[in-house]
Amino acid sequence: MLQNVWMSAYGWRLRRLRLGGQFAAECQAFRARENFSRDAWNAYTQERLRDLLLLAFTRVPHYQRIWKGVVTLAQLERFTTRDLSALPPLEKSVARDDPHSLLLDGKPRREHRVLHTSGSTGAPIATYWLPEELQRSRALRETRSCAFAGVSYQMPRATFGGRMIEPDPESTGPFHRFNWAERQVYLSAFHLRPDTAPAYLSALRQHKVRWLTGYCNSIYQLARMAVDQSLEAPSLEAVITTSEKLTPEMRVVIEKAFSTRVFEEYGAVEDVFFASENSEGHKLISPDAGLLEVVDDEFQPCVPGVEGEVLATGFIRPSQPMIRYRIGDWASLEEATSENRRQMPVLREVFGRIEDTVYGPDGRRMVRFHGIFVDQPHVAEGQIIQKSLQHIHVRVVPRPGFGESDKREIVQRLQQRLTSQMRVTVEPVSVIDRTRAGKFKAVVSELSPQVVPGSV
């Protein structure tokens, strides 16, 4: 109960921060722009791009260094979206190792809040947010994700995320906390297993949850357990998946379990782009959230339908501009914009966002390990590999100062999520192999299907 009170107090502050201020005005502006013609979108994004580039050129240390001799102020004043390929891409290592170099004037403001990415590439990145940027981000999701699915942040919802709301890996429940301020049930992603699934479903019913959102794989695992065990799951108005790619099998199972429709969301904590599924099944890219490029090995635009690397230039957070940012994903675009009244670009497919599921000795399942490498100053990158049901192997690229205390902390954090029965080994390595997109899988499973709990 005390934890629910604490979470509700925290939730009340977040509600005022994210749904106050400019939130209503931003919602109205996002809705109005949905009626833009293609020409209007082009004019809007070109103006926003120029403003962002001029801001970066005159006030952001990283771009002042990296663009020197590449582009002039006069050229940027005439820049168009077609000229973007003249600028070098932004590497994740810059955002990870020197985030202040991307801030206006090279330093955070007192009002900035810091949010970390989940570290899907092995190391979390600090992102800086002003209150109006948080409100703009939430308004984007209210209008371009929730509204597409017929729901709202004003409705009771449940969320699967990366917060460690129950620190005891052996806990017998509850496996959720309730935020009264937003009527939000926050579900633990770290205690989900066949024998705890009924408690998760009970929490949804108890708090009259109307829609579910969060980690795609966690939602799928709960739905899979409900179907496999013939558990009665509440009917929901919508499910909005985030973080991992939604596969056709996941969609079928989730829709069957919760008697609803699933809508896929594609974005990032950095908020440099946003795509969301509408009622026609199109993944619409929001140009007012940022420019999403699909490029070849020379960082030049790919033609629609051809797979390439994703670069993104964000408009949501101008206080920390990220321009041609290498997300680490691969994707392809559709030839034409959406055929309905919204003349917005359409994302054809995203590649490289499926991570392996890790199983605990007691059958719990999880895919994201938010928090393992957060506030680990001596770890540059890390990768989690499941060798067996009883053994997790962690490969880390160390920074100076890495030692036994860092290893113990990693072991403790993993056992907190996977029970103390899990044997954890930590191996310092000089490098972790990358994919062709410059990304490695943060979570890898070497289990054969025969030893996966619940497999047949």
Confidence of residue 407 (pLDDT cuts 50, 70, 90): very high
Tell me the three-class secondary structure of the chain, residue by residue.
CHHHHHHHHHHHHHHHHHHCCCHHHHHHHHHHHCCCCHHHHHHHHHHHHHHHHHHHHHHCHHHHHHCCCCCCHHHHHCCCHHHHHHCCCECHHHHHHCHHHHCHHHCCCCCCEEEECCCCCCCCCEEEECHHHHHHHHHHHHHHHHHHHCCCCCCCEEEECCCCCCCCCCCCCCCEEEECCCCEEEECCCCCCCCCHHHHHHHHHHCCCCEEEEEHHHHHHHHHHHHHCCCCCCCCCEEEEECCCCCHHHHHHHHHHHCCCEEEEECCCCCCCCEEECCCCCEEECCCCEEEEEECCCCCECCCCCCEEEEEEECCCCCCCCCCEEEEEEEEECCCCCCCCCCCCEEEEEECCCCCCEECCCCCEECCCCCCCCCCCCEEEEEEEEEECCEEEEEEEECCCCCHHHHHHHHHHHHHHHCCCCEEEEEECCCCCCCCCCCCCCEEECCCHHHCCCCC
Does pLDDT of 455 surpass 60?
no
pLDDT for the residue 456: 42
Instruction: Calculate what percentage of the chain has a pLDDT beyond 70.
Output: 91
pLDDT higher than 60, residue 79: yes
**266 or 163: whose pLDDT is higher?**
266
Q: Say what the pLDDT of residue 338 is.
A: 59
Q: Is a pLDDT exceeding 70 seen at residue 352?
A: no
User: Over the stretch 104-136, which tens digit does the pLDDT of each residue have?
Assistant: 999 999 999 999 886 554 567 899 999 999 999
Question: Nearest-CA neighbor of 310 among 294, 325, 299?
Answer: 294
Stretch 407-414: mean pLDDT: 95
The per-residue pLDDT for 134 is 96
Number of neighbours of residue 384 by Cβ within 10 angstroms: 25
Spatial distance between the Cα atoms of 173 and 169, rounded to a whole number of angstroms = 10
Average pLDDT over residues 354-362: 77
What length is written for the chain? 456
CA 370, chain centre distance (Å):
11
How many angstroms separate the CA atoms of 396 and 384, rounded?
9
Phi, psi (rounded to 5 degrees) for 39:
-65, -40
Specify whether the CB–CB gap between 137 and 269 falls below 8 A.
no
Asked if 378 contacts 406 with a C-beta cutoff of 8 angstroms, the reply is: yes
Walk me through the domains of the chain, giving residue ranges and CATH numbers.
Answer: 2-9+140-266 (3.40.50), 34-129+267-351 (3.40.50.12780), 358-451 (3.30.300.30)
Averaged pLDDT of the chain: 90
Confidence bin at 374 (pLDDT 50/70/90)? confident
What is the average pLDDT across 386-402? 94
The pLDDT of residue 37 is 93
Predicted pLDDT at 7: 64
pTM of the model: 0.85
Instruction: Write the pLDDT tens digit of every residue in 283-313.
Output: 999 999 999 999 999 999 999 999 999 999 9
pLDDT of residue 362: 85
Q: Which of 6-15, 47-56, 157-166, 327-336 is the least confident region?
A: 6-15
pLDDT at 437 (0 to 100): 46
Give the distance, in angstroms, between the CA of residue 116 and the centroid of all CA atoms in the same chain: 10
Of residues 401 and 338, which shows the higher confidence score? 401
Alpha carbon distance 147, 159 (integer Å):
17
Given this model, what pLDDT does residue 355 score?
59
Structure confidence at residue 340 (pLDDT): 62
Question: Across the strands, what pairs with 157?
Answer: 184, 211
Which of 16-30, 175-189, 341-355 is predicted with the least confidence, judged by mean pLDDT? 341-355
The tokens for 134 are: 């948080």
Q: Tell me what percent of the residues of the chain surpass a pLDDT of 90.
A: 67
* pLDDT for res 415: 92
CA distance 213 to 236: 11
Question: For the segment 185-229, what is each residue's pLDDT rounded down to a tens digit?
Answer: 999 988 999 999 999 999 999 999 999 999 998 999 999 999 999
β-pairing verdict for 379-388 and 443-445: parallel
Asked if 177 and 345 touch (Cβ cutoff 8 Å), the reply is no
pLDDT at 337: 65
pLDDT of 265 > 70? The answer is: yes
Residue 86 has pLDDT above 70, yes or no: yes
Sign of CA dihedral 239, 240, 244, 246: positive
Side by side, the strands of the sheet bearing 423-428 are 423-428, 391-398, 379-388, 443-445
